[in-house]
Structure 1
Amino acid sequence: MDTIRTIKIKNKHLQRIHNNLRQILIKAVLKRCSELQKNGQKKDRDKLWFSFIKSILKCDICYSKTSDMVYFPKWERWFCVSCAEKRGWIREPESIPQLIMTRAQVRHFLISLEDILARKTCRTDHHYA
């Protein structure tokens, strides 16, 4: 992505699904990092942890897991809208290209994510892109 992007989900039902999915993914990442640490696979753990830090799963400042998020390509990080506004990084939310997902788009995204996760977990060489 080359431009600042905001992702907002207005539908309350989809917000709940989105937040629950975030929680599940966060728990899975933390559990896997713990397993890698116990097995002495520091390099793999660090790679997974760095990917988690850069992900949309949480705000990089306040660690919010339920807020609408803004992506800043300059830092390759996601921040919640309120943190970005407080710091003056965004002033006019209307001028930022927004991604508002319909139910069909969310369903398509989840199916694609499931396929990606299935391919990644089936790999045996432990090299992640």
Structure 2
Amino acid sequence: MKIRTYAAVALLLTAALSAALPAATRAIAEECGVRDDGRLYCRNTPDIVLSADAVPNADDTGVLKSDFSWFQCWVDGYPHAGGNNIWYLTKGDEAVAPYRGWGFLAANHLATAQDPAPGLRECAKADYDLI
């Protein structure tokens, strides 16, 4: 009898945890904001190429494979399909030689509610040196 009771409790706990984990994962994926480290964490278009500058047809510097990433800062760049001219700097999951993987992504590829994202700093010259 005790074995059946323990098995039932284990089954209920497993079901409860299984239901809770997708909700927690969804909450993280839906987040889009600046954290204590000063970076913006946000959903983004996956498998997208990063650019050496905030303009179309700039050199490809890296590829952002994931659909949830961090972004270091923002710049005013060339207008894009998102209806503004904000671009975000991040480090891609893969580098395109001879670059180190850092590059810009147009704001229309992020799930931001406002651009530039409130609380994220504007890029400085030192940020460009990362590219």
Query: Shorter-normalised TM-score: what interval?
Result: under 0.3
Taking structure 2 as the reference length, what is the TM-score of the superposition?
A: 0.28
Taking structure 1 as the reference length, what is the TM-score of the superposition?
A: 0.28
Q: Report the structure number with the largest CA radius of gyration.
A: 2
Which is richer in helix? Answer: 1
